[in-house]
Each structure stands twice: as structure tokens, then as C-alpha cells.
Amino acid sequence: MALLALLQQWQQLWLVAPFGATAVILFALPGSPLGKAKNVIAGHFLAALIGLTFVHGFGLTVWSLSMAVGLAIGVMVLLKITHPPAGATTLLIMLTAPDWWFLLNPVLTGSVLMLLVAHYYHKSHRKGHQHLLKRRAAAARTKVAD
């Protein structure tokens, strides 16, 4: 989030509310199937594409908003790329009606950056705690031997 906030100072549209929920999944639930790279990137991208298509094609009405969010959820489930925060991406787009550039920035770029940061965070976290894991494994082996 800090990286996106810093980029937001340089150029608008790096931070969007659905990324907060994506961060919870990526950092607090790294093993979740909802946090797989394909789910995060394709989920947000597809949800944004549907939102942009509906808001620019039909405008904002109760029905267009409902149909866009429902379609985004349905297609994510059908394609097995469900990412719950992406439903909020569709809703955000319907309510704010950004231009088509929004699909690339912040949606695609932000999703990829968050995944990269989460990947390297978890990779370094595992390496940084290898000595603890080895100590626990050794203690477990000692317990079993006793």
C-alpha cells in the first residue's frame, strides 16, 4: 500500500479502495485460493472491464449497476478466477465513471505491483525465519525420539 501511495503522489489513480481488501488477502491469507495471481489480476481486470463497459454503455442506473456487479461475479466464478475485492472494483467504476485508462492504471498495474510486493515479502519472510523453522523441526524430532 505504501508503494501505491507513493506512486499516487507522482501520478493520480494508483490507490483504489478495493486494493485494501486485496492487501488483506495477499498479506494475511497468502495461501488463500482467492489470492492466487490469476485471481487477483484477472479478477480485477475482468471486473473493471465489465464495469467500464456498463457505465459507458448504459450509464449509471440501479439496473446497470446491479447487472454489472452480478455479471462480474458470475464470470469470475465461471472462469474460476474469483477475487472478492474485484466486485468492489466494478462497483467503484460504476459510481465514478472513470475513463478507459483506468483499466490499465490503477487496475492492472496496481494488481501486478501488489502481487509482486506480496510475493517478495512472503519469500523474504520465509527465508528470514528459516532458523526458527529448523529449531522447531529439531525440537519436534527430539520429542518424537524421547
Residue 61 counted as domain residue: yes
Where b means 16+ CB within 10 Å and e means fewer, 74-95 reads ebbeeeebbbbbbbbbbbbbbe
Contacts of 103 (CB under 8 A, 6+ apart): 45, 48, 49, 52
pLDDT in tens, 70-112: 999 999 999 999 999 999 999 999 999 999 999 998 999 999 9
Confirm whether 144 is domain-assigned: no
Is 105 inside a domain boundary?
Answer: yes
The verdict on residue 11 lying in a domain is no
Place of cell 483504489: 16
Domain residues for the domain of 26 are 16-115
pLDDT at 40 over 90: yes
3-state SS class at 31: coil
Handedness of CA 97, 98, 101, 106 (dihedral sign): negative
C-alpha distances in Å from residue 55, one per residue of 19, 96, 109, 114, 124: 21, 9, 21, 26, 41
Please count the structural domains in the chain: 1
Average pLDDT of the residues in 6-24: 75
**What pLDDT, on the 0 to 100 scale, is given for residue 124?**
85
pLDDT of residue 64: 97
Mean pLDDT, range 43-58, rounded to an integer: 98
User: Does a structural domain hold residue 67?
Assistant: yes
pTM: 0.79
Reply yes or no on whether the pLDDT at 1 is more than 90.
no
Q: For the chain, count helices (H), then strands (E).
A: 7, 0
pLDDT at 108 (0 to 100): 94
For residue range 101-144, list pLDDT tens digits in order.
999 989 999 999 999 999 999 888 775 555 555 667 777 777 77
Q: Is the pLDDT of residue 11 over 70?
A: no
How high is the pLDDT of residue 102?
93
**% of the chain beyond a pLDDT of 90:** 67
In a domain, 130, yes or no: no
Residue 28 maps to a domain? yes
Q: Does residue 60 form part of some domain?
A: yes
Neighbours of 18 (CB within 10 A): 26
